[in-house]
Homo-oligomer: A and B are copies of this chain.
């Protein structure tokens, strides 16, 4: 069984970890892994150059989470992380001190940057990094959505520069420094024009038995992957069913600041509105950039009404407990999602 996941950071990483636990149980390979093949296509829109090194937040959150190295409570970064370098760096007053640059995490950035500087692609560097964390042995392959930098920038009002003036900041600055509290006018994917899907991405969608959109940020994570040339078309034409899990539970994101992102693009922070934002693949009224990407949508039990409304509209939708409180609970969520598309 081939499963392809379109993932952002923490939510997608935790979901995929639960999915792998489910697959080890259902399709064991006899060596502690699974015979299933899971491909995770990661959002790289949050990536940035910082102090000369390439930081890839979602790829690293996925790698650490699936590799058993993640800081569990925090959801991202390394367990037993320290900040010896960044504490000393602060004394130079170089700026960007709002961005946490852990010592262990920095080792990952330095290794990746060395490989990129040697001419390797981000896909290649990611594969080299993943060797350490044994992802292949678990039956999972981690791919960046694109090898070319496609960075999400945020256009915000700049009242200091005059009425109606705007300025653009990197997504991480908006997200981490301003905690998404600075009203965003719109998101811009810089570099999209010269980007193409990384090797394996389109094929992983085309040849999948099921495609999953985990409870990741629909705007700045999943939509960024969807914006990569060819991805929407691959989703539209794949024989695999596409099932999503709502990141919105009871009118608010389970974690993170997705509500601010949804508000920016004019979508309500409800399980139903996010489903309609993604759109149904068989909805003939949508086309081009707006073509629907989902067949099915799993919502939380508190949003059972949304599932009913969507079902009345022709969706495959159901409600289940979707809080990823631990790995077994998350495996059950993955099972519910797969069941929704008959897998």
Binding site for B on A (CB under 8 A): 49-54, 82, 84-86, 88-89, 91-96, 103-104, 106-108, 110-111, 113-117, 128-129, 131-132
Can you show 6 pairs from A to B with CB atoms below 8 A apart? A49-B117, A50-B114, A51-B53, A52-B113, A52-B117, A89-B107
Choice from B49, B88, B96, B103 contacting A88 with Cβ under 8 Å: B103
- The CA-CA distance from A116 to B95 in the complex, in Å, is 13
CB pair B111 A84 closer than 8 Å: no
Q: Say whether A114 contacts B52, CB under 8 Å.
A: yes
Q: Which of B85, B94, B131 contacts A85 (CB 8 A)?
A: B85
CA distance A183 to B195 in the complex (A): 47
Contact of A110 among B51, B104, B114 (CB under 8 A): B51
Tell me the bound Cα distance from A128 to B132 in angstroms.
37
Give 7 A-B pairs besides A50-B114, A51-B113, A84-B103 with Cβ atoms closer than 8 angstroms. A51-B53, A51-B117, A52-B54, A53-B110, A93-B132, A94-B114, A96-B114
Q: Give the residue of B82, B96, B107 whose beta carbon is less than 8 angstroms from that of A92.
A: B107
- Contacting residues, chain B, for A103 (C-beta < 8 A): 84-85, 88, 103
Contact of A89 with B117 in the complex, beta carbons under 8 Å: no
Closest to A103 in B: B84
- The CA-CA distance from A91 to B110 in the complex, in Å, is 12
Cβ-defined partner of A107 (8 Å) among B52, B54, B85, B95:
B85
Q: From B54, B84, B89, B131, give the contact of A82 (CB < 8 A).
A: B84
Q: Which of A86, A107, A132 has the most CB of B within 10 A?
A: A107
Contacts of A94 in B (CB 8 A): 110-111, 114-115, 128
Inside 8 A of A129's CB, which chain B residues have their CB? 92
Question: In the assembled complex, how far is the CB of residue A136 from the closest CB belonging to chain B, in whole angstroms?
Answer: 15
